[in-house]
Amino acid sequence: MNILALDSSGIAASAAIVTEEKVLGEFFINHKMTHSQTLMPLAEQLFKTLDVDKKDIDYVAVSCGPGSFTGLRIGMAAAKGLCLALGKKLIAVPTLDVIAENAAESSGLVVPVMDARRGQVYYCIYEKEKGSLKPKTAYDADSIEAVINKVKAEGKPAVFLGDGTVPFESEILNAGFEIADNTKRLQRAACVGTLAVKAVKENKAVEPENAELIYLRKSQAERELEERENALSFRLMTKADIDVIADIEKRCFSVPWSRKMIEDDFKNGLTYYIICEKKGKPIGYAGIWHVVNEGNITNVAVIPEEQGKGVGKRLMEELIQLAKQKHMIGMTLEVRVSNEIAKHLYESFGFKAEGIRPEYYSDNRESALIMWKNL
């Protein structure tokens, strides 16, 4: 059985041909050129050097993630293309398994960590059982501090490996754990092939169109697009927003302010309304009366489908900033005594209960809690 194994999931690229008995050969490069330029030439040179015909390959194996989004796609595309050209099945091997295989002889825990950016690592914790490494956790992404704490909780010695050990070397060593040396730190195609041999015996080879990548997280481009789509903007109310606020009132409150009340309030010269928009559509508002040197918050309202997403918190931040710009010395508000969610929100901004207005609300005679915050 001959397996062509490819890896381009991280900073290095490699290709290997592996049999049941041994690694016939491996080419590994960890330099400046991109995987799209190096991976297939490595495989071609491997066939030439070993004098192996492509038709003699029985399976193609590739590391399937987590890892570099671009690198994973390059590797999977190359593997699928070869499988389709040669009429062979594909074996997708999880990248964290591949890295862990470098420390297969370890007697303690094996913890591969890959740099996932934004202060996180991809990781899994392994331990040897019946001669093979077995995962004790799911593949996941978390901070290195959280990973270290999980390893500590096992109460066993551990070796860390993977490119995530570079930015977090001091944290790992200070926790009393070992880091594998450079020759065993990164994922290699030889390990992909070794694990693929086992996968073949377990009938895990699939048709190339059925192979999938393991991402764990959205790509940076997807995250940035989502952030842009979910971005909130804030502006002061204009006369044209009276109907907008009236509609939000009706959707949010059992006793909403009427359109005339909102219009009269807007005209009095003492009220400021802040509109929150998402994709150009108003989704909430907050109002405050400026009386002498104090601010009285009238309402904070967010349409039902956008509630629970932090919009109310952002509106409060904008109100507080506005109050400071207008040189107010404090802010006050009334809230239903039963509205725990709103009370918790206000308390998070430093508002404190100062009194009760008995039977304040007309719909059910519920009392209002008076809250105050110094600025």
**What 3-state DSSP class applies to 309?**
coil
- Rounded CA-CA distance 318/139 in Å is 40
On the question of a cis peptide bond just before residue 66, with omega within 30 degrees of 0, the verdict is yes
- Rounded CA-CA distance 144/167 in Å is 10
**Strands 368-374 and 352-357: what pairing?**
antiparallel
Amino acid at 327: H
Who has greater pLDDT, 221 or 215? 215
Residues in the chain: 375
CA angle in degrees (0–180, nearest 5) for 6-113-176? 140
Scan for tokens 């950016």, then name that residue: 117
* Among 239, 216, 219, 235, CA closest to 227: 219
Q: With contact defined as beta carbons under 8 Å apart, do 7 and 188 qualify?
A: yes
* Among 64, 141, 61, 59, CA closest to 95: 64
Q: With contact defined as beta carbons under 8 Å apart, do 354 and 346 qualify?
A: no
Confidence of residue 280 (pLDDT cuts 50, 70, 90): confident
pLDDT per residue as tens digits for the range 282-313: 999 999 999 989 999 999 999 999 999 999 99
The pLDDT, as a whole number, for residue 226 is 61
Task: Give Cβ neighbours of residue 266 (< 8 Å, ≥ 6 apart).
Answer: 237, 239, 242, 273
- Rounded CA-CA distance 2/53 in Å is 11
* Among 123, 193, 192, 206, CA closest to 163: 123
Q: Of all residues in the chain, what percent carry a pLDDT higher than 70?
A: 97
- Rounded CA-CA distance 275/298 in Å is 14
The token duo for 96 is 């964290």
The pLDDT, as a whole number, for residue 223 is 61
- Rounded CA-CA distance 329/343 in Å is 21
The token duo for 203 is 């009938």
Confidence of residue 220 (pLDDT cuts 50, 70, 90): low
The pLDDT, as a whole number, for residue 255 is 87
The pLDDT, as a whole number, for residue 224 is 64
What is the mean predicted confidence (pLDDT) over 53-60?
97
pLDDT per residue as tens digits for the range 80-90: 999 999 999 99
In the annotation, is 285 catalytic? no
Q: With contact defined as beta carbons under 8 Å apart, do 287 and 273 qualify?
A: yes
**What 3-state DSSP class applies to 260?**
helix
In the annotation, is 334 catalytic? yes
The pLDDT, as a whole number, for residue 238 is 93
The pLDDT, as a whole number, for residue 33 is 74
**What 3-state DSSP class applies to 140?**
strand
The pLDDT, as a whole number, for residue 222 is 61
Q: Residue 308: which region, alpha, beta or left (left: phi > 0; alpha: psi -120 to 50)?
A: left
The token duo for 324 is 């400071």
Catalytic residue among 26, 101, 318, 334: 334
Query: Each residue of 125-152: b (16+ CB within 10 Å) or e?
Result: bbbbeeeebeebeebbbbebeebbebbe
DSSP string, 178-211: EE--GGGTS--HHHHHHHHHHHHHTT--B-GGG-
The pLDDT, as a whole number, for residue 276 is 96
Average pLDDT for the chain:
94
Catalytic residue among 59, 317, 346, 361: 346
**pLDDT at 221 exceeding the cut of 80:** no
The 3-state secondary structure of 316-344 reads HHHHHHHHHHCCCCEEEEEEECCCHHHHH
**pLDDT at 241 exceeding the cut of 80:** yes
Where in the chain does DSSP place strands (E)? 3-7, 13-18, 23-29, 59-63, 89-93, 109-117, 120-123, 126-129, 132-135, 140-143, 158-161, 178-179, 232-236, 271-278, 281-291, 294-302, 330-336, 352-357, 368-374
pLDDT per residue as tens digits for the range 32-47: 778 999 999 999 999 9
Confidence of residue 78 (pLDDT cuts 50, 70, 90): very high
**pLDDT at 115 exceeding the cut of 80:** yes
